[in-house]
Amino acid sequence: MESETQTGQTAMPPVKNGLLPYITVDGALKAAEFYKQAFGAEQAFVVPPDDKGRTMHVHLYINGSSLMLSDAYPEHGHPFLKHQGFSLQLVVDDIDLWWERAVKAGVEVVMPVERMFWGDRYGQLRDPFGVSWAMNEPAKAG
């Protein structure tokens, strides 16, 4: 089912949003506030915090998709573990706008935005909660 673009590169398949990330962070409410500043997140729902300031559920909308997060609950078998082995990828139309907002908010630049071998502009970031983010601006057809 692969097709080629006018430049002879293989066309990328469409992104489907039926699977969404649900991450555990140390400070879900703080992370949600940070994601509003860095990535334009909108809060869809939040479970009020417990007496320790933790919440079991935050639902955000970012760039037309959902992201869910919660605090760790070690007493219920869910300790906080350092993030590794994944990144959250934002596919955006204007990477410069998204990138600048995230950097101003305080993300760490891991890999600056560059034109990649597949034609897209791409870069990697890490937020203050240890979550890796990637941004991708698809190459314009034509």
Record the pTM. 0.87
CATH number of 46's domain: 3.10.180.10
* pLDDT higher than threshold 90 for residue 117: yes
- Asked if residue 95 is part of any domain, the answer here is yes
* pLDDT higher than threshold 50 for residue 48: yes
pLDDT per residue as tens digits for the range 49-91: 999 999 999 999 999 999 999 999 999 988 888 888 999 999 9
- Asked if residue 4 is part of any domain, the answer here is no
- Asked if residue 128 is part of any domain, the answer here is yes
> Considering its fold, how many domains does the chain have in total?
1
- Asked if residue 32 is part of any domain, the answer here is yes
Q: What residues does 124 pair with on adjacent strands? A: 111, 134
Q: What residues does 111 pair with on adjacent strands? A: 124
- Asked if residue 9 is part of any domain, the answer here is no
- Asked if residue 48 is part of any domain, the answer here is yes
Q: Are 133 and 87 in contact (CB under 8 A)?
A: yes
The domain in which residue 57 lies consists of: 22-74+81-137
- Asked if residue 31 is part of any domain, the answer here is yes
- Asked if residue 100 is part of any domain, the answer here is yes
Which band of pLDDT confidence, cut at 50, 70 and 90, is reported for residue 119? very high
For 108, residues 6+ apart whose C-beta sits below 8 A from its C-beta are 125, 126, 127, 128
pLDDT of residue 142: 59
- Whole-number mean pLDDT of the chain? 91
